[in-house]
Each structure stands twice: as structure tokens, then as C-alpha cells.
Chain A
């Protein structure tokens, strides 16, 4: 064995421009640069959650075979803790996860949180409305609301497309594929 470099178990840090050493930085910008540590914290929390759930399980009666229902959750929980630690080390050493790119993605500008919140709100709102209003109406609201959140302002065209799409999907699933969707009062009238 003439291995020149001793194999190190450390994670491979991607050489993404390391912060210039010695530059004075405020705590806020440090946190901004290292926001990925939040992922590490979430993984840690998830690991603790999985382990707590597994270890508080009451299995003496149900245990069958050498490996009970506890074993795999314990392994997964410990794995989460280890990965959380490794990720934190990687981030502190300058590693960064690459944000995903795509045809319509422009990473040059800061994230537009307003749109994301609006979209999530529209989604939840329509979900709640499915039962009282029926699927076609709630679905149309979802499409129109989502298009609005994403910047479409054609008051003449948007609701029309939304209504047609929603009715078509309703007909396709409820009538053709046999997946029941609630029609709601609107469908009762038609």
C-alpha cells in the first residue's frame, strides 16, 4: 500500500469561494452566509424526534423476530444526527449546496417571498373551500389565485381559463376515471 494521501473520513467540502479571512463581518451577514446551518438544525431536530418516538415505543408484547419495530427508526434517527453534524462541519468549512437552476429560474435576483407566501395562502384557502363550494369552483379559484400570485392580471381571460380547466378536470376525474370529487352546490344546479 503506497497510498500517498491518508484517507480522511472528513466530508469533501466544495471549493466555493471561501470567505476572505480577516474581513470584519457583522453577525447578521455571517448568519446570512451560513443560513444553510438551518438545514443542519432541522435535521438535528428531526433526528431527535425520530429517536424519541422510537425509544418511547412500547414493544414488549408486539416484538416478533430479532428485529422489532424500533430498530430501523433508531438507525434512521442516529443517521439524521450524524448527517446534521457532518453538514454543519461542511458549511462551516465553506461548503455550500447549489440552488437548483431551471428554464424559468433566475437566481440573479433575491427570492421573492411575497409570491411564495401568496401561492401557499391561495393553495390552503382553496383546499378549505373544496368541501363547501365543491371541487369545480374551488379548483377554479385555485388556478385563478395562483396565476394572480404569479403576476397574471388579465381579468378577462384568467377566470375563463380557470373555469374551463377546472370543469374539464372535474369531468375527467369524476366521470371518466371514476375518481369521485365533490361537485358542490354548483354542480347540483347544472
Chain B
């Protein structure tokens, strides 16, 4: 009831002409960015962080949310028409979508994806409206030990759930924590890792870290391995769906959100696992099993709906707990910090206009996406032909603008290049970038909460585990850490470190049935 009133107020905020404009800009920019090869949503939001210097928070977050949803939609267009997905979340869209495009059904594949995103986003955002205030209420009196526990959970989840190697994830996290240490200690003013430099005493701005790792690192990495001949996109007309296709897809659209949303809300890698789970589910339930692998439309509709809903789930944990579960959420958290706003249970009390305006604008953005993208699809497809030198030169250019806008200092640009080179090395040696970014963003906050908690308990470590909430969170952390051992101990389970596509299937079958038919 209360949530409904707040949501109506939110629509009041979101439907002002200026905020509508930001939503439209975000959605269009997001789709363009998602379609452009090489730029993911996280890089897009990172490159746009400098607008936070000139925009009010509500407008900025409405735009960022539009970018997030738009980029997810755009990414599936790339997958379907090019078959070379750059983001893990769009991999599944290529599996059925690209064969469809090859056999001349690209328009239907794009339509199934677009409506899937709309349906998934709508259901996901409704779940967000229903759940977020409750979670915020439950968590409203959490204190320093609880915050610290949540941050530890974020660190552990991001290093051990994502990626194929825990050591490399941990290495990345520690690099991020180290960068976060640079500057004056927040509680005592002690200089740390500044080496006497006045500039470093201010710390390294999180904009520079995010832009350096996501944008410069990526541009340099691609530059070193640029494909001589970029792949040719399959030409496509205006998306539409026939009656027979609709009959096949509506159930998939409806199922997707319930797979996507929960996975978005927990730190399990965003859209990667739920899209794959949805794919497997749709395949099992499909009446047209012979078409799978050759272009089954359910295989586009379900996963795309799940992907969009997982984005809504991500926002639940980000807004109510301040826990970023994906790279985009991490960069958005950085944007909150730029404004001096701490996302968390109190956000709904302190900034109701911002939060509910943001949530309402998600609905607006979804409608805009559907209305714009169906007619604009052929135009988006043209973006795939952009000459690659311009694309990556543009990324370098906007990265430089962003870093320079931080303080108008040349040294920031040098720092940006150094961090970009670190990002390059991380891509070369398979160190995931996300843990480093989370380390930089959450590291200083985690240290502060830790010290606050220990101050309250007068140095006793029990002060960290004296609430039911923190104990629960630590239990989850232990479970995550022990998971490989538990898996080994379970009988008849595969013990090989399977690649990304294998893992979700394995965990899925363990939930739904006994794993007797599995063996690698």
C-alpha cells in the first residue's frame, strides 16, 4: 500500500519533461552502446560518470538505469546479427538467435528479444517494487558489523562465484583494495601509500579507476588483438512476430523473469547464469525439440526475458543493501558515492524522491525501449558497421574527457593510463576486472565499518558477529568458500572445473533432479 503511494509519487518525478528526456537519452544511448561491439554497459556507465559533476542525482540515475536496460537489449542485437557476443549475458542470445538470423528469421529473433526484454523488465521491476521496501525495512537497523559482513560477502562472492579461477579473482580484488588504500586514512588522517605526493593524498578518484580499468584497459587490449576484418552483420528488416511465433513464445517470456530476478539479486554473476538456466528450461519444455540449435525462437525469448529481470534483481540488492552484484551496479554505486549518497536501507527513508523516481523511470524506460527499438532495429544494425579505429579512438577520447573532468589535472590522465595498462595486463592474464573495481569502491567503506564495529566492542572480535544478521551473512560466506569442497564430497558429481556454459547446467540439474544422467 505504502509502496504503491510512493511509486505514484515516483511517477510524478519520472514524468517531468526533463527526467523523461534523461530516460530517453539513457535508453537510446544504452541501446547504441549495447549494439556497438566492444562497449559493455559497465564501460558505458563508467564513461558517463563525469556527468555526475553537472547533473542532479535523480536525472543522472534515471539515465544510468536507462543505459543499463538499453545496453542489455542492444547486446542481444549484436549477438543475433553478428554471433560474436562480447558480454557474457548475451552469449545465450546468439545460440538460437544467430541461426534464426541466418535462415532469414532475424526480424522475428529481434522481436522475440525486444518483447522478452520488455516482459522481463516489467515483471522484474514489479518484483522490485514489491520487495525492495520490505528488504529495506528488515535491514533498517543494521549497524557497522552488519555492513562489514555484507561487504565481506560482496568480496568473497565476486572472487569465488565469478570467473574460472579463485586465485586470479582474489589477486584482482587485492589490487583493487590496494588502490583503495592510497590516500589519507579516513579516521586518523594518516598518509598511506602516498609516497609524499600531495596529489595521491587525495586518493585515486574512483572515476579514474573505473574508466581506466573498463575503458582504457579494454581499448588497449582490443588494439593489441584487433581483428583485421570485422565480422559482417546479417542484414535485417523491421522486427515483427507472427501468430504462430507468439503462441510459442509467450510462455517463455512469462517464465524468464522468475529465473532471472532471484539470480540478479544475489551476488552470482548477474545475467550469465539465469540466461543459461532459462535456455535449458525452455529447451526441456519445448515442443519443437528438433529446432534447437537451428534457431528455436523460445531460446531467444526466455533468456532475454530472464536477462532483463536479473537487472531489476540487481537493483534490489544495490538500493536496499548497497551490495553491488554486477559490474554495472558497482559503477552505479561509485556514482552514488560521487554524490555523497550511501545506498542502503536508509536510502528509502532519506532519498524517497530519488529512489522512487528511479524505480518509476524504469517502467517509463521499458515502454520507451519497446516503442523505439522495434522501428529502429535496422538503424541499430547499421551501427555494427562502424569502422573499428573510430570506435576505439572514441573510447580513448571519452575516457580522457572523463578523467580530466575529475579535477582538471594532467596527472589524472597519466594515472588513467597507468590503471589502463593494469587493466590490459589483467585481460591478458585472465584476472577478472570486476573484483578490482569492487575492491576500490567498497574497500575504504569496509575498513571504516570494520573499525567502527571494533571500536564499539572495544577491540573484541566478537563485536563483528554479535547480530543475527551478520552471523547469517557470514554463514553464507562460509558456504561460498566451502562450496568446491562440498561439491567434491557429494557423490557422483563432476569434479572437473567446467567452463562457464557447463557450470549452470550442472547446478541446475542438481536442483531439479538426481544427477544420475550426468558424467563428464
B408 x A180 contact (CB < 8 A): yes
A104 x B397 contact (CB < 8 A): no
A105, chain B: closest CB distance, angstroms: 5
B506, chain A: closest CB distance, angstroms: 15
Say yes or no: is A187 at the interface (Cβ < 8 Å to chain B).
no
A173 x B50 contact (CB < 8 A): yes
Per-residue A-contact encoding for B425-462, CB less than 8 Å = 1, 0 else: 10111110000000000000001001100110011000
Which of B218-226, B271-279, B363-371 makes up part of the contact surface?
B218-226
Say yes or no: is B244 at the interface (Cβ < 8 Å to chain A).
no
A11, chain B: closest CB distance, angstroms: 5
Residues of chain B lying within 8 A (CB to CB) of residue A4 = 489
Residues of chain A lying within 8 A (CB to CB) of residue B224 = 111-113, 115-116
Say yes or no: is A33 at the interface (Cβ < 8 Å to chain B).
no
Residues of chain A lying within 8 A (CB to CB) of residue B216 = 123
B174 x A12 contact (CB < 8 A): no
Say yes or no: is A46 at the interface (Cβ < 8 Å to chain B).
yes
A161 to B391 alpha-carbon distance, docked (Å): 12
A124, chain B: closest CB distance, angstroms: 6
Q: How large is the interface on B (under 10, 10 to 19, 20 to 34, 35 or more residues)?
A: 35 or more
Contact of B188 among A3, A11, A59, A161 (CB under 8 A): A59
Say yes or no: is A39 at the interface (Cβ < 8 Å to chain B).
yes
Contact of A105 among B221, B400, B405, B450 (CB under 8 A): B221
Residues of chain B lying within 8 A (CB to CB) of residue A167 = none
Residues of chain B lying within 8 A (CB to CB) of residue A169 = 397-398, 401
A128 to B231 alpha-carbon distance, docked (Å): 36
Q: Which of A15, A65, A123, A180 has the most CB of B within 10 A?
A: A123
Q: Which of B54, B220, B223, B496 has the most CB of A within 10 A?
A: B223
Residues of chain A lying within 8 A (CB to CB) of residue B227 = 104-106
Per-residue A-contact encoding for B319-355, CB less than 8 Å = 1, 0 else: 0000000000000000000000000000000000000
A95 to B226 alpha-carbon distance, docked (Å): 26
A149 to B220 alpha-carbon distance, docked (Å): 11
B460, chain A: closest CB distance, angstroms: 8
Q: Which of B421, B451, B458 has the most CB of A within 10 A?
A: B451
> Known: A62-B189, A76-B177. Contact between A99 and B429, CB under 8 A?
yes
A115 to B171 alpha-carbon distance, docked (Å): 28
Per-residue B-contact encoding for A119-152, CB less than 8 Å = 1, 0 else: 1100110111011000100010011101111111
Per-residue B-contact encoding for A43-55, CB less than 8 Å = 1, 0 else: 1001001100110
Q: Which of A104, A148, A182 has the most CB of B within 10 A?
A: A104
> Known: A3-B489, A57-B190. Contact between A97 and B223, CB under 8 A?
no
Instruction: Give B173-218 interface residues, CB cut-off 8 Å to A.
Output: 174-175, 177-178, 181, 185, 187-190, 192-193, 216, 218
A95 to B50 alpha-carbon distance, docked (Å): 39
In the complex, residue of chain B having the shortest beta-carbon distance to the beta carbon of A54: B192
B188 x A68 contact (CB < 8 A): yes
A63 to B68 alpha-carbon distance, docked (Å): 43
Say yes or no: is A5 at the interface (Cβ < 8 Å to chain B).
yes
Say yes or no: is B404 at the interface (Cβ < 8 Å to chain A).
yes
A11 to B190 alpha-carbon distance, docked (Å): 36
Say yes or no: is A72 at the interface (Cβ < 8 Å to chain B).
yes
A11 x B38 contact (CB < 8 A): no
A113 to B226 alpha-carbon distance, docked (Å): 11
Instruction: Give B364-420 interface residues, CB cut-off 8 Å to A.
Output: 387-390, 392-394, 396-398, 400-401, 404-405, 408, 410, 413-414, 417
Residues of chain B lying within 8 A (CB to CB) of residue A139 = 397, 400-401
Say yes or no: is A181 at the interface (Cβ < 8 Å to chain B).
yes
Residues of chain A lying within 8 A (CB to CB) of residue B404 = 130, 135, 181
Residues of chain B lying within 8 A (CB to CB) of residue A98 = 164, 430
> Known: A11-B166, A106-B225, A115-B223. Contact between A146 and B454, CB under 8 A?
no
> Known: A112-B224, A116-B224. Contact between A39 and B429, CB under 8 A?
yes
In the complex, residue of chain A having the shortest beta-carbon distance to the beta carbon of B217: A100
Kindly count the residue-residue contacts between A and B in the assembled complex, taking CB atoms under 8 Å apart: 248
B225 x A107 contact (CB < 8 A): yes
A40, chain B: closest CB distance, angstroms: 9
A123 x B417 contact (CB < 8 A): yes
In the complex, residue of chain B having the shortest beta-carbon distance to the beta carbon of A122: B396
A104 x B192 contact (CB < 8 A): no
A176 to B50 alpha-carbon distance, docked (Å): 13
Which of B81-89, B247-255, B258-266 makes up part of the contact surface?
B81-89
A178, chain B: closest CB distance, angstroms: 5
A76 to B223 alpha-carbon distance, docked (Å): 33
Q: Which of A73, A76, A149 has the most CB of B within 10 A?
A: A76
A59 to B223 alpha-carbon distance, docked (Å): 46
Residues of chain B lying within 8 A (CB to CB) of residue A59 = 188, 190
Residues of chain A lying within 8 A (CB to CB) of residue B192 = 53-54, 57, 69, 73
A62, chain B: closest CB distance, angstroms: 4
A147 x B171 contact (CB < 8 A): no
Residues of chain B lying within 8 A (CB to CB) of residue A53 = 192-193
Given A100-B221, A146-B389, output 13 extra A-B contacts at Cβ < 8 Å.
A43-B174, A50-B181, A57-B192, A62-B189, A67-B454, A97-B429, A105-B226, A111-B224, A111-B428, A123-B417, A147-B393, A152-B390, A177-B51
A-B contact pairs, 14 of them (CB 8 A): A14-B497, A15-B497, A43-B175, A66-B458, A67-B451, A87-B171, A99-B429, A102-B37, A111-B428, A116-B220, A150-B392, A152-B393, A166-B397, A179-B54
Closest 6 CB pairs of A and B: A97-B430, A66-B459, A177-B54, A103-B37, A146-B393, A152-B389
